[in-house]
Chains A and B, each alone.
Chain A
Amino acid sequence: MSLITLAAPTPHAAPRSGFLWRLLRRPSGVVGLLLLAAIIAVAASAPLLYPDDPLDMVAQPFLWPGQDAAYPLGTDMMGRDIASGIFHGARVSLLIGAVAASVSLLIGTATGALAGYYGGRTDAALMRVTELFQTIPPFLFALAIVAILQPSIPTITLAIGITAWPSLARLVRAEVLKLRNGELVQASIALGAGDLRIIVLHILPNTLAPIIVSASILVASAILTESSLAFLGLGDPNVVSWGGMVGAGREVLRTDWYIATLPGLAIVVAVLALNLLGDGLNDALDPKGERRA
């Protein structure tokens, strides 16, 4: 076990504070971070502001936004409070986005690191599996898994997680290959370090920048995939989800377009926030970006 933690909050850890500063100096980083913080605040405050089940019928249907002060965003065709749905939907989106992205991150990083580090047959075998996954359109793949396993939050998360990792695996593999034959790894081997220690301590921390950037994009695409699944009726029927709300509102799109549009905007904001954050992270983590700023 390594006793050395990677995050070393020492007073000398200049790169860390410098990193946050670099992120905050970029408009995309600031806006992305603020939007994401707002969405997290919305998700966190949902049970306080709207303690009742967002799927309950609370008022007359088709209340337009602003028509009734008690329901600022109106109600849908079943008389459900749209504001409550968006608040509670944020929880579902963030939960599925974060967990599914973590699953992808785990599979993708492990596959890419092992393939890149060991090379040869290990690499060939792992990359064939990766290519196999890449030949199937990820969304259709996720759709099929959810359809077979019955839609629920765990199955949806799993389906998104195990279909989204191949591109990350390729990215990590390329980064690891670059370091694998470098002097750092050679020097570590010469000092008697084992494979696992080299990968965990010397290689992965040095590939962190692209991994962090793609993590934010992975969360965004997981939220999109979940919404799409819910839109097609393959969301968890017991929880409210932005995609599900859009799907339900689709039927009355011509007359009461706000029912589909408001949760749709929520999806746009969430995905935009994560993409902007990814952009900002990319610039902030790239040492060569310093000159462009």
Chain B
Amino acid sequence: MSEPVLQVRRLNVGFASRGRVTPAVRDLSFSVKAGETLAIVGESGSGKSLTAFALLGLVPPPGVVSGEAIALEGRNLIGLPEKRLREVRGARIAMIFQEPMTALNPVLTIGEQIMEVILEHERVSPRAAKARALELLAQVRIPDAERRFHDYPHRLSGGMRQRVVIAMALACAPAVLVADEPTTALDVTIQAQILDLIDTLKREHGTAVVLITHDLGVVAEHADRVLVLYAGRKVEERAARDLFAAPLHPYTRGLIAARPRLGGRGAVRARLTEIPGTVPGLAAMPDGCAFAPRCPVAEAACTLALPPLVPAGTGSVACLRVGDIHAAEPERLSVVHA
């Protein structure tokens, strides 16, 4: 397989206050290859959005980003001066935001906004930029692009706006596209269209996609690999197919069990299982496994030391009990909390 275009090694993001740094994302490592979709999932507060922002060097103060590397096509973005970062953003790595309504400028036409991005990064004539912008509008399947080019964002529906945002993000054919919950603000029917569009464009351009989401349904259909974040740490990362077929970490199992399903195996509408408790606060992280207080299979050892990430099948998992669980009875854990 090809070399990964984005390689994150031991990324740490924290918030500085009163001389101390409270960590929010810890020792996170992952990589994405061209044409691959990596989904980062987790609850609110797990650090998934913060990770997305860190990839583009967008973590606002008092946030502090440190670590070994965020290597984008071999160039380390950590510690890169703002001016250099600006050349990379939008050109080699781009981001799609949650709210297509607020991410577009209401006083510029959508065509002008797409042209802006092209003109910012490339020395091309406005005429060439306009031709490219029209092409992009067609690529994101906006009907009647020629006419829509002159429309202001308020004349478009939410789904159409998100298509424009995607067109802007892909204007300079970036190597990596970070999508931070790109469909959360959209209707369910539109969600699928937008995700399919991202899939298609990813295949056409060979873009690596980092999909940030809390929606496991989205992950199951669109991700190649899944990284599960819990309290700022990676607890499991595996090929999507394997992860859904046999989740290893008790937290992953909980997430999958807590997902509502239409139809499903049994016709009986079972109560949704939930994961008891909440994610521990950043300042009050337990010593051992952060999930231990909520974990149905935790034992004393779990609360003593941080479980290391160990290779497991197509990826890795960080759980002391994973061997025992597997040996004992895999089915038992499909329902984490009865």
Contact = CB atoms under 8 A, between A and B. Distances in A.
Interface of A: 2-4, 6, 8, 10-15, 181-184, 186-194, 197, 201-202, 205-206, 208
Given A15-B152, A201-B108, A206-B105, A192 B97 contact: no
A56 to B, nearest CB: 51
Interface in B100-143: 102-109, 112, 115-117, 119-121, 126
A8 B115 CA distance: 15
Nearest to B52: A190
Interface string B265-276: 000000000000
Nearest to A194: B86
B40 to A, nearest CB: 17
Interface string B41-65: 0000000000000001010100000
Given A4-B115, A183-B102, A183-B103, A191 B89 contact: yes
A182 B104 CA distance: 11
Contacts of B58: 186, 189-190
B168 interface: yes
A184 B150 contact: no
B87 A192 contact: yes
Contacts of B35: none
B108 A4 contact: yes
Contact of A10 (B109, B117, B121): B109
A187 B108 contact: no
Contacts of B94: 190-191
B109 A8 contact: yes
Contacts of A2: 116
B103 A192 contact: no
Contacts of A192: 86-91, 117, 120-121
A11 B152 CA distance: 12
A208 B107 CA distance: 10
B120 A190 contact: no
B112 A4 contact: yes
Contacts of A202: 105
Contacts of A6: 107-108
Given A8-B112, A190-B95, A192-B117, A184 B126 contact: no
A190 B55 CA distance: 10
Contacts of B120: 191-194, 197
Contact of A184 (B90, B102, B112, B119): B102
A161 B232 CA distance: 54
B97 A183 contact: yes
B220 to A, nearest CB: 27
A184 B121 contact: no
B101 to A, nearest CB: 8
A188 B120 CA distance: 11
A191 B102 CA distance: 15
A126 to B, nearest CB: 19
A15 B98 CA distance: 26
Nearest to A181: B60
Contact of B105 (A3, A181, A189, A201): A201
B150 A12 contact: yes
Given A4-B116, A182-B102, A197-B120, A187 B95 contact: yes
Contact of A193 (B88, B98, B106, B116): B116
B151 interface: yes
B165 interface: yes
With most chain A CB atoms within 10 A of its CB, the pick from B60, B103, B119, B147 is B103
Contacts of A190: 56, 58, 89-90, 94-95, 97
24 contacts: A3-B119, A4-B112, A4-B115, A8-B109, A12-B147, A15-B154, A183-B97, A183-B98, A186-B97, A187-B103, A187-B104, A189-B89, A190-B58, A190-B89, A191-B117, A191-B169, A191-B171, A192-B86, A192-B91, A193-B86, A194-B86, A194-B120, A197-B116, A201-B105
Given A192-B117, A193-B116, A197-B120, A187 B97 contact: yes
B199 interface: no
A3 B104 CA distance: 18
Given A12-B150, A191-B90, A191-B117, 17 more contacts: A3-B119, A8-B109, A181-B60, A183-B103, A184-B102, A184-B103, A187-B104, A187-B165, A190-B58, A190-B97, A191-B168, A191-B171, A193-B116, A201-B105, A202-B105, A205-B105, A206-B105
A187 B112 CA distance: 15
B99 interface: yes
With most chain B CB atoms within 10 A of its CB, the pick from A191, A194, A206 is A191
Contacts of A14: 152, 155
Contacts of A188: 105
Contact of B99 (A4, A183, A193): A183
